[in-house]
Amino acid sequence: MLLLPVRSDLYVYFSQVGLHIAFISTLLSLWRNGPEKTLLGKKQIVPVFSVLLIGWSIYLFLAAGAIETKGAYSAGFVGQALRNLQNLANETRFSIIDTQANKEPSLSNTVSSGFSSMLRLYFPERKFKGEIIDANRVGKKSGGDAVRYFLWKNDQLTGPFPYVQAKSMLQPGT
């Protein structure tokens, strides 16, 4: 598992390797010294558990790849957000409209839960009030002209826009 082409912080590799080594050594010990009457038989236990171990390793590889995809997606958003938000005035209220909320991955299922923390981390001197909302939840104008809207469309962050302009951009064909 150490050779996975993904970020090393996604899994605790050493504990995974340790568990695999302990499991294999236990199996080899059972195979060599175990009693004649085991659940599967002395000679069948190692191949059965080896197949299970290989299956688990393949699952971890696929899970790590899915996490890497979400990480790359959220990293792309963060870079664009930093460029777009740096010019906003202090204490600005804004919403990022996620037009891709029904896709996988989307801002709604990758970044939205940590968005407030991200704002405090990158802009500690400003008191931004931001949120990521699904395009289907954009309703009546709330907050007046003080709220600025950004659009996340085709993996690009555009804005800021006043409410009327952002709402018109959500219409099909725009």
- 94 lies in the same domain as 163: yes
Domain hosting 165: range is: 89-169
- pTM for the model: 0.61
C-alpha atoms less than 13 angstroms from C-alpha of 166 in its C-beta half-sphere: 28
If one compares 173 and 61, the residue with the highest pLDDT of the two is 61
**169 in Cβ contact with 151 (< 8 Å):** yes
Query: Residue 146's CB: how many other CB atoms inside 10 A?
Result: 10
The CA distance from 171 to 174, in Å, is: 6
- Last-in-domain residue among 32, 53, 78: 78
- 21 lies in the same domain as 71: yes
Structural domain tally of the chain? 2
Per-residue model confidence as pLDDT tens digits over 127-163: 888 888 887 777 655 556 678 888 888 889 988 888 8
Q: Name, in order, each residue with C-beta under 8 angstroms of 66's C-beta and a sequence gap of 6 or more.
A: none
Per-residue model confidence as pLDDT tens digits over 15-38: 667 777 777 777 777 767 665 555
Q: Name, in order, each residue with C-beta under 8 angstroms of 80's C-beta and a sequence gap of 6 or more.
A: 156, 157
Strands 156-161 and 147-153 turn out to be: antiparallel
The CA distance from 162 to 141, in Å, is: 10
**80 in Cβ contact with 135 (< 8 Å):** no
What is the per-residue pLDDT for 39? 54
What is the per-residue pLDDT for 1? 45
Per-residue model confidence as pLDDT tens digits over 78-117: 888 888 888 888 888 888 888 887 887 888 778 877 888 8
- 113 lies in the same domain as 156: yes
